[in-house]
Amino acid sequence: MRKLVILGATLLAVAGSVISAQIEIDDDFMRSVEDSNKSLANHIAIKDTKGVSIDTKELSEMFAQVEAFYATKGDAQDALDITKKSRQLIADIDKSVASKDFDGANVMASDLSRACKSCHNFYKKS
Amino acid sequence: MSINRRKFLIQTSLGLGGAAAAAGFIPGVGFIGSALAAELADPLAPKAPHFPSKIKSVIWLHQNGAPSTLDLFDYKPELVKLAGQPVPASFLKGIKTSTQGGVGKLYVSNQRTWKQHGESGAWFSNLLPNLAEHADKMAFIKSSVTVGATHDISILKLNTGDVNPGRPSLGAWVNWALGSNNPNLPSYVVLYNGDREPQAGSVNWSSGFLPAVYQGTPFRPGDSPILYLDRPDLRTAAQQRGSLDLLKTLNNIGAARRPEDTELRARLQSYELADRMQRAAPEAVDLSQESEATKKLYGIDDKTSQSYGEVLLRARRLVERGVRFIQVVSGHPENISDQERRSWDAHNDLDGNHGVQARMVDKPIAGLLADLKARGLLDTTLIVWASEFGRTSWGESGSGRDHNPWGYTQWMAGGGVKAGTTYGATDDIGLQIADKDLAVDTYDVHATVLHLLGLDHLKTTFLNNGRSERPTVVYGKVIKELIA
Three-class DSSP labels, B350-399: HHHHHHHHHHHHHHHHHHHHHHHHHCCCHHHEEEEEECCCEEEEEEECCC
CB-defined contacts A:B, below 8 A: 43
The pLDDT value recorded for residue B450 is: 98
d(CA B374, CA B77): 36
Contact A107 B458 (CB under 8 A): yes
A117 and chain B in contact, CB less than 8 A: yes
CA nearest to A34 within chain B: B474
A93 and chain B in contact, CB less than 8 A: no
The pLDDT value recorded for residue B12 is: 40
Q: Please, what is the angle between helix A27-45 and helix A77-98, to 10°?
A: 30
DSSP 8-class letter at B136: G
pLDDT tops 90 at residue A106: yes
Asked whether the beta carbons of B114 and B125 are under 8 A apart, the reply is yes
d(CA B34, CA B31): 9
Contact B436 A117 (CB under 8 A): no
Burial category of A109 from C-beta neighbours within 10 Å (exposed 0-12, middle 13-18, buried 19 and up): buried
Helix (H, G, I), strand (E, B) or coil at B467: strand
CB < 8 Å to A105, chain B:
none
Residue burial B60-87, b: 16+ Cβ < 10 Å; e: rest: bbbbbbbbbbbbbbbbbeebeebbeeeb
Of residues B96, B458, B477, nearest to A114 (C-beta)? B477
**Residue A45: band (very low, low, confident or very high) from pLDDT cuts 50, 70, 90:** very high
Enter the ipTM: 0.77
**Residue A25: band (very low, low, confident or very high) from pLDDT cuts 50, 70, 90:** confident
Contact B463 A46 (CB under 8 A): yes
d(CA B189, CA B205): 9
**Alpha carbon of A25: minimum distance to chain B alpha carbons (Å):** 18
The pLDDT value recorded for residue B32 is: 38
Contact A110 B477 (CB under 8 A): yes
**A residues 4-33 near B, CB within 8 Å?**
none
d(CA B232, CA B19): 41
The pLDDT value recorded for residue A125 is: 58
CA nearest to A43 within chain B: B468
Q: Which residues pair with B141 in a beta bridge?
A: B410, B423
pLDDT tops 70 at residue A4: no
Mean pLDDT on A78-102: 94
CB < 8 Å to B436, chain A:
118, 121
Tens place of pLDDT per residue across chain B (484 aa): 444 554 444 444 433 333 333 333 333 333 334 444 445 567 889 999 999 999 999 999 999 999 999 999 999 999 999 999 999 999 998 787 766 667 889 999 999 999 999 999 999 999 999 999 999 999 999 999 998 779 999 999 999 999 999 999 999 999 999 999 998 999 999 999 988 888 888 999 999 999 998 999 999 888 778 777 778 888 888 898 898 899 889 988 988 888 888 778 777 877 887 788 887 888 898 999 999 999 999 999 999 999 999 999 999 999 999 999 999 999 999 878 777 889 999 999 999 999 999 999 999 999 999 999 999 999 999 999 999 999 999 999 889 999 999 999 999 999 999 999 999 999 999 999 999 889 999 999 999 999 999 999 999 999 999 999 999 999 999 999 999 9
The pLDDT value recorded for residue B41 is: 62
pLDDT tops 90 at residue A107: yes
The pLDDT value recorded for residue A22 is: 54
CA nearest to A109 within chain B: B474
Nearest to B116 by CA among B422, B434, B428: B422
Superfamily holding A25-123: Cytochrome c/b562 (1.20.120.10)
Q: Which residues pair with B116 in a beta bridge?
A: B123
* Candidates B50, B443, B474, partner chain A, best to mutate (most A CBs within 10 A): B474
Mean pLDDT on A89-116: 95
